[in-house]
Amino acid sequence: MIAKQKICAGCNKLSYIWSSKTGRKLCKQCSSNTGVAKLSISKPTAKSKPIPARSQKRSKEERLYSGKRIIFLQEKPLCEAHISGICTKYSTECHHKKGRIGEDLLDETLWLALCHNCHEHIENHREFAMEKGFSIKRIN
């Protein structure tokens, strides 16, 4: 049986048909990987929505926290740690003794009003903070 030459759907030249992977009759050159990639018709795909950085529940909690934090710092204008040689006296930040996970974010009994320098020292020296009561173990 002798193969007949047909017109290639890719280059429109008379040649031997090599494959028809995409439903189109293609010559050897057009059916190569680069040829198929150029000629293949892809179906439009639905764009997926990106995963949000925060859940709606967490966003609501953080908005509530933001307001409570401002009031907390206004009620306690002086640094509660008073670490000698470091403290700048006035509170500017809110330290969470047990972290900010779950309900601990809004529990004001676990907050400390601190100056930036004391807060940084407490965060960088975990053992010191535990000894002085500035931090609490997060896992019981």
Per-residue confidence band for 12, with pLDDT thresholds at 50, 70 and 90: confident
Domain ranges of the chain: 1-38, 57-132
Mean pLDDT, rounded, for 109-122: 96
- Quick one: which of 40, 47, 44, 50 has its CA closest to 20? 40
pTM: 0.62
Q: Are 95 and 116 in contact (CB under 8 A)?
A: no
Higher pLDDT, 34 or 40: 40
Q: Give tens-digit pLDDT for 84-98.
A: 999 999 999 999 999
Per-residue confidence band for 20, with pLDDT thresholds at 50, 70 and 90: low
User: Which tokens sit at 52?
Assistant: 């949000």
